[in-house]
Structure 1
Amino acid sequence: MRVLFFGDVVGEPGLRILAQELPLLRRLYRPHFVVVNGENLDVTIPELGKAGMHPQSLRALFALGVDAVTGGNHSFDPPWAEEVLGHARVVRPLNYSRHAPGKGSLLLRKGNQELLVVNLAGRSALAHAGDPVEALEALLAQWQGIPILVDFHSESVFEKLGLAYLFDGEVAAVLGTHTHVATQDARILPRGTAYVSDVRMVGGEEGFQGYHPDFLVEALRRRLPPKGLALRPAEGPGRVSYVLLELEGGRAKGILHLSEVVDLPPANP
């Protein structure tokens, strides 16, 4: 089974890039499942620097043939978060409050292929998250014999790598997201779990993690949302970042990690 996983899609430029690149990659790799981290898909409250997913952008993702969308620390930012997280093919961090909207795992089926997609958040990314290790342990007690892909949304390489080794052989892959900066450590661990610390992003290359730097730099200086500025995605050249997994019997047989500069398609008039 082949799985194509894309790192954080940032804003409308990221959606444009994915719309351009995904059909090409589908023809090249013929994946059974496509999974996308979409927690930066939209700027939801620009004056406060809040991101998340808008229902309209989410529909655009699924129109491209995406099978599941994962989240992270921005999953709960939008005013319409409950609507978005209620979508059947959207997951948010499993280790967040059980009273929060949404779910932390999703079983995908196509023909005789099955994949369980799990979203976890590190406390370095989401301060009020629970213990990701305990959350994953509890989930694994309910699922046996199904390949499991974990999107671990965390700032900490130590946290991501530690969890991957802890569950090596029990999950098919632990793929890191959140920093929007690619790491060069893609590999298969000794018992068969594919791992990379951070996949990177899909979005505008000339910016601050896919965003125009003005708002974020001033917020760093002030430690407050800056007045008169609004968070907005970066333009410039585009970047597409993804992992291709080859899975067999619940474990990984191959992992390919690529992050490339591409042309940024023009915006619709």
Structure 2
Amino acid sequence: MEIPVYTLDAFTNLPFKGNPAAVCPLLHELNEDLYHKIAAEMNLSETAFITLINPADTFTSGKRFRLRWFTPTTEVDLCGHATLASAAVLFQYKNNVNPTLVFETRSGALAVSKKKEGYIMDFPLNPPTKEDHNDFKDIIEAIVGNHPIQEVCFSRDTKKLMIRLPDSCERSLLTSLKVDPVALLNSDSSGRVRGVIVTMKGSPDCKPGFDFYSRYFAPWCGIPEDPVCGSAHTVLGGYWSKKLGKKKMLAYQCSSRGGELELEVRDDGRINIAGEVTAVLQGVIRL
């Protein structure tokens, strides 16, 4: 059996920046064990598998597809950058004729549309609620050490904890954080947290005018640090929209690779997440 595979860098227009995802278009479903083995072999934060829903469709003509995402260790409910990459494969390599594609996923139907540069994803909004710092003190210490924090919030739907640094902090504090994934993993074994976002207010007056910055860590899912995480921005978007009084925002995830996300919080309880994609590899998995 031969399975086509593509590697694309999402939320960037440059190779080797943004967040790399592997994408495998499949003519039929694989057995569960094989999904996990391929994702472990690719060893990226996510490997996406696209399958046809209607047997009469092709990757060129179809409008709706099934989409699943796997980290090197587990299947996840929602992934932004691999959804962006999957749409790019269908539009760029399969020459899909439709302006909008819909993916059936564990998080419901997710639409992706072409824009002038890049793509726009229609995602659920997962605004977090404020929490007591002391309820997560071990995780906070593992992430930021003794640095001060301004606020702690938690999204129960995504199991993502959000730690906000004070506005007085320089961006260099966020970029210089050195997080030990083993220590972070050991800081909570209850299963209530699956990922931690660290964020701070941006500098909208400085070009290109980012409204907020973030980094994201998820060792519980086999991802020490996710370079640019779309699903984390379903949490961040709702939070910062209220804090800043803005519906449209420009965000930057300042991992070592870095990536830009355009956000628009909608009145219907969803969020548009837009970004560019750069393809870097095309190959075949032979089994």
TM-score after normalising by structure 2: 0.24
Larger Rg: 2
More strand, by proportion: 2
